[in-house]
Structure 1
Amino acid sequence: MDYHVWLAYVVTAIVFSLAPGSGMVNSISNGINYGTRKSLTAILGLQIGLAVHIILVGAGIGALIAKSAIAFTIIKWVGVVYLIWLGIQKWRDTSSLVADTSHDARSAGTLLRSAVLINLTNPKSVVFLVALFPQFIDPAGNQVTQLMILGATTVAIDATVMLGYTSLASQMGRYIRSGRIMEKINKLFGSMFIGCGALLAAAKS
């Protein structure tokens, strides 16, 4: 995989991980209730769920590349459109994300299992990965190697971001959950998604 392509993916993956979603809410909630140290198992759980999605999506994309170059190209363009649409939806989203602050004595194992299920049952992750991966894969190259690089990069970035959210929430939870702040965050990342989609579309023209 070309170094510049990988760097472009890193930027896009950071936007993906930072954007508000169920993983962010889980990390904020755990940070508020249990602190950073105990929440590490939940962050691990989120990454296990994400890794399962990556493996499933990667296997499907690899099979698609092997069968039809035209279908793969169509998927790439659908992905561009999806990124732009997602950005518009995120920009228009005025709802706030409120973390569950009910404090109960949950074990590390319970936090781990709960986090795994949160990502496993989040279909938006699968749709996003399906839209994202083909933009950075060279059909003429080794798909397995490229998918492994993209997958490892995604997990590493997401784990770092979730750790940041958890640590920040343990110190400033009430500000993160502010409706006004969340509206600004939604607009910021909506603009970023639109920008990513537009850049990918321009690169293909």
Structure 2
Amino acid sequence: MSITHWLSFAMASAVLLVIPGPTVLLVVSYALGHGRRFALATTGGVALGDLTSMTASMLGLGALLAASATGFTALKWAGALYLAYLGIKLWRTPVGDSQAPDTSMMHAGKVFAHAYAVTTLNPKSIVFFVAFVPQFIDMQAPLWPQMALFEATFVALAAINALGYALLAANARQAIRSGRVQRVVNRAGGAMLVGVGVLAATWRTASK
């Protein structure tokens, strides 16, 4: 594989990743609600989720989901319901006046699992990888080394993108001191997550 193939894939992936989707919205919501505390946990969950989805697509799961309307619909609804559940939880997150939201019941492992589940349970990502990756494969070179390099590149870029969104949102949160404002932010983020859950169940186009 030439450097041109790899650079084309990396540039296309970077452009696609910065477009907000369910995963980015989850990262931003956690950062706004809890600051930098869970930035690394959400980033790790996103990276592992992308690794799982991309590996599954490389192994043929994407083709299976594309061919099976029932399997695609079931996984799509599971992901949509999970997004709605997280949105409701964020809406109900308690806040204190002039204090950060109460995170005593949260821990990094749970946040990591949430980010991983939201990223992995998006069947459109799996189907998207099947349609996206082959465009950059050099048929004159060994197949699996190229796929491994593409997967590593995409996961690394996804992690950098998620961390960037988390840090930007966390920095914006530092300016928020009022519990009332924090409550509005949490409820707005929660409402958006529920909305994305509904859209995820109805959209046919791939989004990340």
> Same fold per TM (> 0.5)?
yes
Residue 121 of structure 1: aligned partner: 121
CA-to-partner distance for each residue in 1:62-120, whole Å, 9 max, x for gaps? x9xxxxxxxxxxxxxxxxxxxxxxxxxxxxxxxxxx99463443110100111111011
Residue 179 of structure 2: aligned partner: none
Residue 201 of structure 1: aligned partner: none
Residue 31 of structure 1: aligned partner: 31
Equivalent pairs, count: 143
**1:39 aligns to what SS in structure 2?**
helix
**1:38 aligns to what SS in structure 2?**
helix
1:142 aligns with 2:142: yes
Find the aligned partners of 1:40 and 1:29 in 2 and give their Cα distance: 14
Residue 160 of structure 1: aligned partner: 160
Amino acid at match of 2:138: D
1:9 aligns with 2:9: yes
Find the aligned partners of 2:57 and 2:157 in 1 and give their Cα distance: 18
Residue 42 of structure 1: aligned partner: 42
Check conservation: 2:36, 2:170, Cα contact below 8 A.
Answer: yes
Amino acid at match of 2:146: Q
Any runs of at least 4 consecutive aligned residues in structure 1 with deviations exceeding 4 A, and if so which? 98-101
Q: Shift in Å at residue 139 of structure 1?
A: 2.5
CA-to-partner distance for each residue in 1:122-156, whole Å, 9 max, x for gaps? 11211221111000112232111000110000000
Find the aligned partners of 1:142 and 1:32 in 2 and give their Cα distance: 44
Check conservation: 1:39, 1:111, Cα contact below 8 A.
Answer: no
RMSD: 2.7
Equivalences for 1:68-147 in 2 at 5 Å? 100=90, 102=93, 103=101, 104=103, 105-147=105-147
Same amino acid, percent of matched pairs: 29
Amino acid at match of 1:145: P
C-alpha change, 1:37 and 1:2, in structure 2 (3 Å) is farther
Check conservation: 1:17, 1:158, Cα contact below 8 A.
Answer: yes
For structure 1, list consecutive stretches of 5 or more residues without a partner in the other structure.
Answer: 64-97, 180-192, 194-205
**Could you say which structure has the higher helix fraction?**
1
TM-score w.r.t. length of structure 2? 0.62
Find the aligned partners of 1:4 and 1:34 in 2 and give their Cα distance: 41
For structure 2, list consecutive stretches of 5 or more residues without a partner in the other structure.
Answer: 64-86, 94-100, 174-184, 193-205
Find the aligned partners of 1:36 and 1:128 in 2 and give their Cα distance: 30
Find the aligned partners of 1:171 and 1:124 in 2 and give their Cα distance: 31
Find the aligned partners of 2:21 and 2:124 in 1 and give their Cα distance: 9
